[in-house]
């Protein structure tokens, strides 16, 4: 158990190191000079030189990489070229929007998918099953940002229940902040709920066909109890795997949805930094995403141990 | 690294201030009987930093210019130069000495007094070796700066610079404090009618009225101003319809303007900007080095069709690199009018009876690919095949086109006002070299006499309209949509800005 943990942590650090080198190289070969972008069409060569000096872009590649790495290791993520403030602060400001949004979306998609998936598995080939199948197809097929636009039209423009976008900040109170996140969370959650419903359905059906469920039923356990006591808990492993993967999709999908709802989240920061070639911000954000994915996968692995006692004895 | 870090105490103060402001906003929007004194103004692009003297993006000036920062002179809503921190000036007959008499009793928001030494500091910072001012060229003609007394500033020039006074009115030329300049990028401190309160990156900038504003002639009626940055056009429309944003002075999508027509709470105002949409050509490359080819391409294009296709018919056709806002404007759209037969004849004369093929590098901004598609169809009429190559703006476009001049044709909106001189710059991406034109630009700078300059500007416009180093298409409209009770916003935009000192809510 401890050995497994240590090995996982070591591979985690190595992966991050490799990712950091990759990001740095990609950013470096990307066309576009941050200084030229910041100084516009009338900049003179001397001003470009002065700005490159100020941003440290006149240093050689390896030196820039090492100083970035050393900074990251000590918690100093550097200064944003365009904003002129520490990147760590920028990421922190955006996380308080993106993380709650992602968690809210996960909660919603689980709350939608598990009951639908189980119901549809329990009544295979019934009207319910067909309806759920149709619904989940639709959730998957319809793009999140479009759902977002539709939700804004209905709930903000027509009904006026929630603001059409933007984020008041948590200092404005929990309710207004959550209010601003509800529509984007729904827009993010629906496609994920579609996928999750189908996974849940097939996993439950598979388990229901297993011998031990048949045995339980043969011993006289009602179908309903067999479903909830045996089939659903055993179907959770694939569901949690997908959930872990989805978290990364959610963070990525947040870019579009944050744009539609004008939320100052991490996705918008990344997009803006990319278009302005705020390379240091790009590097930090991508590295952060990579770390998040790696940690998430790690947590999913750990959750298998909790969900499936058989795995605990191994390694 | 850079001295922009926020100390914890400052950060807490900033948070408290913004919390107080949000609460204030909440109350003011509910106080139906009190006069409204808060404004939420929407912009498409968030500024990068808030110091217009340290980076070029126009969004910086659109938040801070005339609101937080002021200049020696200013540009008014008609595009005229008006006194500001300099109450008067005198230009020597040889055009080499500018003597400014400065306003007295002016202080920056942090209490620092404005005088000639601060003005000298500001100009020296903009023209010095470490300057990252996007318009450093403005100050290149300045030789020495003298401060005989606190209220007098004397600029001695190396050579006459007829545009200097105009340039001093630009956002890039504003006065900054000696103590605060280094932090202006994140905490702008100026002399203007509004003080900086907070900046929630990615979302909003908040300003509050400056109680100690020096200019008593200006009655500022807004108490608080929030700039909100909303990139998506649909989100902009939703925000202004639901009242989340009071005004979008520059709404992003012309095709959505009709949606506001039946809304009695909103007004739409269509004005002019300085954004000249031009399809620049590489004049050093074959066949664009032949004036007849360029003229043929111009005559193959019906500007109105481009405007209809690209910008829902909103926008003004132009025949040169000049807008109706600009002084001494001449309408030259009839110089090379839409005439397919004439265009074909010109092409044949130039040795391309069967046309030719080339590539246009188009940035992703909506107007560019849309214009290019319309142009593609029209050029096909004269046998010219144009391939559209999407080119990421700004990064790749700046590298390929602006810096590298590695392109046949491109299309972009030039935002800088009165920038007809770009055709005399060397190097510049058009690779256009016309000594007669450059001579006119030099003459404009050599005189300080407005009438003489006006005549020269007309000559310059005419030469370009005839030579078409770029295909001159149209000026972007300023698509304003705002609350019908809101008054005082600029309808036209002689310089990119959102001047709020005269904005108020009608009872």
Which residue from A30, A39, A275 is facing B134, i.e. has the nearest CB? A39
d(CA B222, CA B63): 15
Q: What is the pTM of this model?
A: 0.86
The total domain count for chain A is 2
Q: Which residues sit opposite B154 in a β-bridge?
A: B99, B146
Does residue A103 belong to any structural domain of this protein?
Answer: yes
Which chain A residue is nearest to residue B45, measuring alpha carbons? A272
Residue A218: predicted pLDDT? 87
The verdict on A171 and A129 lying in the same domain is yes
d(CA A156, CA B239): 9
Give the domain-ending residue among A26, A46, A73.
A73
The verdict on A94 and A216 lying in the same domain is yes
Does residue A188 belong to any structural domain of this protein?
Answer: yes
Query: What residues of A are in contact with residue B129 (Cβ under 8 Å)?
Result: 46, 50
In tens, the pLDDT along A206-241 reads 888 888 888 888 888 888 888 888 888 888 888 888
Residue A314: predicted pLDDT? 54
The verdict on A290 and A243 lying in the same domain is yes
Residue A143: predicted pLDDT? 84
Contact between A247 and A303 under an 8 Å Cβ cutoff? The reply is no
Least Cα separation, residue A214 to chain B (angstroms): 54
Neighbour order of strands in the sheet with B357-362: B385-390, B357-362, B409-410
Which residue from A37, A157, A172 is facing B242, i.e. has the nearest CB? A157
Reading the block at residue A71, the tokens are 């900074």
The verdict on A57 and A148 lying in the same domain is no
The verdict on A96 and A173 lying in the same domain is yes
Query: Helix B450-467 vs helix B435-446: angle between axes, to the nearest 10 degrees?
Result: 160
Query: What residues of A are in contact with residue B400 (Cβ under 8 Å)?
Result: 31
The verdict on A169 and A268 lying in the same domain is yes
Query: pLDDT at residue A2 above 90?
Result: no
What's the rounded mean pLDDT across residues A11-18?
Answer: 88
Q: pLDDT tens track of chain B, all 507 residues?
A: 333 344 444 444 444 444 444 444 444 444 445 689 999 999 999 998 999 999 888 999 999 999 999 999 999 999 999 999 999 999 999 999 999 999 999 999 999 999 999 999 999 999 999 999 999 999 999 999 999 999 999 999 999 999 999 999 999 999 999 999 999 999 999 999 999 999 988 899 999 999 999 999 999 999 999 999 998 898 899 999 999 999 999 999 999 999 998 999 999 999 999 999 999 999 999 999 999 999 999 999 999 999 999 999 999 999 999 999 899 999 999 999 999 999 999 999 999 999 999 999 999 999 999 999 999 999 999 999 999 999 999 999 999 999 999 999 999 999 999 999 999 998 899 999 999 999 999 999 999 889 999 999 999 999 999 999 999 999 999 999 999 999 999 999 999 999 999 999 998
Give the domain-ending residue among A19, A44, A73.
A73
Does residue A278 belong to any structural domain of this protein?
Answer: yes
d(CA B281, CA B444): 25
Does residue A83 belong to any structural domain of this protein?
Answer: no
Q: Which residues sit opposite B281 in a β-bridge?
A: B409
**Interchain CB distance below 8 Å, B22 and A172:** yes
Reading the block at residue A90, the tokens are 């920028």
How does residue A74 score in pLDDT terms, banded at 50, 70 and 90? very high
Does residue A265 belong to any structural domain of this protein?
Answer: yes
The verdict on A223 and A297 lying in the same domain is yes
Residue B455: predicted pLDDT? 97
pLDDT-above-70 percentage for chain A? 98
d(CA B344, CA B441): 33
Does residue A78 belong to any structural domain of this protein?
Answer: no
Chains A, B: CB contacts under 8 A, how many?
Answer: 175
Q: Which helix (H) or strand (E) is B311 found in, with range?
A: helix B303-311
Query: pLDDT at residue A90 above 80?
Result: yes
Residue B175: predicted pLDDT? 98
**Interchain CB distance below 8 Å, A46 and B136:** yes
The verdict on A32 and A104 lying in the same domain is no
Residue A313: predicted pLDDT? 62
d(CA B118, CA B176): 7
Q: What backbone torsions phi and psi does residue B199 show, to the nearest 5 degrees?
A: -135, 105
The verdict on A102 and A249 lying in the same domain is yes
**Interchain CB distance below 8 Å, A39 and B132:** yes
Q: A30 at the B interface (CB within 8 A)?
A: yes
Which residue from A54, A164, A168 is facing B132, i.e. has the nearest CB? A54
Does residue A125 belong to any structural domain of this protein?
Answer: yes
* CA dihedral (B102, B103, B105, B106) positive or negative: negative
The verdict on A101 and A221 lying in the same domain is yes
Does residue A268 belong to any structural domain of this protein?
Answer: yes
Least Cα separation, residue B429 to chain A (angstroms): 10
d(CA B331, CA B154): 39
Query: pLDDT at residue A245 above 60?
Result: yes
Q: Give the strand pairing for B73-75 and B266-280.
A: unpaired
The verdict on A47 and A107 lying in the same domain is no
Q: A156 at the B interface (CB within 8 A)?
A: yes
What's the rounded mean pLDDT across residues A136-163?
Answer: 86
CATH number of the domain enclosing A114? 1.10.3720.10
How does residue A1 score in pLDDT terms, banded at 50, 70 and 90? low
Give the domain-ending residue among A19, A46, A73.
A73
The verdict on A170 and A259 lying in the same domain is yes
Q: Which domain holds residue A181?
A: 88-311
| Mean pLDDT of chain A, nearest integer | 87
């Amino acid at each position: 158990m401890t050995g497994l943990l240590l090995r996982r942590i070591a591979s985690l650090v190595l992966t991050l190191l490799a990712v950091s080198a990759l990001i740095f190289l990609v950013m470096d070969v990307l066309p576009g000079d941050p200084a030229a972008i910041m100084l516009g069409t009338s900049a003179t060569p001397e001003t470009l030189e002065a700005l490159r000096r100020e941003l440290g872009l006149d240093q050689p590649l390896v030196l820039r990489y090492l100083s970035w790495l050393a900074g990251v290791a000590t918690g100093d993520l550097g200064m944003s070229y365009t904003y002129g403030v520490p990147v760590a602060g920028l990421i922190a400001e955006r996380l308080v929007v993106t993380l709650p949004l992602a968690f809210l979306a996960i909660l919603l998609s689980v709350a939608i998918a598990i009951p639908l998936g189980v119901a549809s598995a329990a009544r295979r080939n019934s009207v319910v099953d067909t309806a759920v199948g149709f619904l989940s197809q639709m959730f998957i097929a319809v793009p999140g940002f479009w759902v977002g636009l539709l939700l804004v039209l209905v709930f903000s423009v027509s009904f006026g229940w929630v603001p059409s976008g933007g984020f008041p900040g948590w200092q404005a109170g929990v309710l207004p902040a959550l209010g601003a996140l509800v529509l984007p969370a729904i827009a993010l959650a629906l496609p994920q709920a579609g996928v999750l419903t189908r996974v849940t359905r097939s996993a439950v059906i598979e388990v229901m066909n297993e011998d031990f469920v048949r045995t339980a039923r043969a011993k006289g356990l009602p179908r309903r109890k067999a479903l909830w006591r045996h089939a659903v808990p055993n179907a959770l492993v694939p569901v949690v795997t997908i959930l872990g993967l989805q978290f990364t999709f959610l963070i990525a999908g947040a870019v579009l949805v944050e744009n539609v709802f004008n939320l100052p989240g991490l996705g918008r920061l990344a997009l803006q930094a990319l278009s302005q070639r705020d390379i240091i911000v790009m590097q930090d954000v991508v590295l952060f995403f990579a770390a998040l994915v790696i940690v998430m996968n790690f947590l999913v692995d750990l959750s298998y141990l909790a969900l499936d006692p058989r795995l605990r004895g191994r390694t | 690294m850079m001295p922009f870090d926020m100390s914890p105490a400052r950060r807490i103060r900033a948070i408290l201030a913004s919390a107080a402001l949000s609460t204030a906003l909440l109350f003011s929007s509910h106080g139906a009987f009190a006069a409204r004194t808060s404004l939420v103004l929407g912009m498409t692009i968030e500024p990068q930093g808030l110091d217009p003297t340290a980076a070029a993006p126009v969004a910086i000036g659109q938040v801070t210019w005339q609101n937080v920062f002021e200049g020696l002179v200013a540009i008014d809503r008609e595009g005229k130069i008006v006194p500001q921190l300099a109450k008067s000036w005198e230009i020597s007959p040889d055009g080499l000495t500018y003597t400014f008499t400065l306003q007295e009793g002016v202080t920056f928001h942090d209490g620092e007094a404005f005088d000639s030494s601060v003005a000298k500091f500001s100009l020296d910072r903009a023209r010095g070796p470490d300057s990252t001012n996007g318009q450093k060229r403005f100050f290149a003609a300045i030789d020495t700066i003298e401060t005989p007394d606190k209220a007098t500033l004397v600029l001695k020039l190396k050579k006459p610079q007829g545009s200097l006074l105009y340039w001093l009115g630009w956002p890039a030329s504003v006065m900054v404090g000696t103590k605060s300049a280094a932090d202006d990028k994140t905490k702008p401190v100026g002399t203007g009618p509004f003080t900086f309160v907070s900046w929630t990156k990615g979302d909003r900038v908040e300003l509050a009225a400056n109680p100690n504003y020096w200019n008593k002639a200006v009655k500022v009626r807004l108490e608080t101003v929030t700039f909100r940055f909303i990139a998506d056009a649909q989100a902009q429309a939703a925000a202004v319809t639901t009242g989340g944003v009071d005004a979008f002075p520059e709404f992003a999508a012309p095709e959505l303007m009709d949606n506001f027509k039946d809304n009695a709470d909103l007004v739409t105002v269509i004005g002019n900007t300085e954004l000249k949409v031009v399809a620049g050509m590489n004049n050093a490359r074959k066949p664009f080095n032949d004036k007849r080819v360029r003229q043929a391409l111009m005559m193959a294009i019906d500007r109105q069709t481009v405007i209809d296709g690209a910008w829902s018919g909103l926008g003004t056709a132009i025949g040169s690199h000049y807008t109706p806002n600009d002084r001494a404007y001449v309408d030259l759209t009839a110089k090379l009018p839409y005439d397919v037969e004439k265009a074909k004849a010109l092409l044949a004369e130039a040795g391309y009876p069967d046309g030719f093929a080339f590539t246009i590098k188009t940035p992703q901004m909506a107007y560019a690919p849309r214009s290019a598609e319309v142009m593609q169809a029209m050029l096909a009429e004269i046998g010219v095949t144009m391939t559209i190559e999407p080119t990421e703006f700004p990064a790749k476009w700046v590298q390929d086109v602006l810096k590298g001049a590695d392109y046949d044709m491109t299309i972009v909106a030039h935002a800088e006002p009165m920038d007809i001189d770009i055709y005399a710059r060397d190097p510049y991406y058009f690779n256009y070299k016309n000594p007669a034109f450059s001579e006119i630009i030099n003459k404009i700078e050599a005189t300080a006499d407005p009438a003489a300059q006006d005549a020269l500007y007309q000559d310059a416009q005419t030469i370009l309209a005839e030579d078409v180093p770029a295909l001159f298409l149209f000026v972007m409209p300023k698509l304003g949509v705002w609350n019908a009770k809101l008054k005082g916003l600029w309808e036209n935009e002689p310089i990119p800005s959102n001047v709020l000192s005269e904005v108020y809510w009608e009872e």
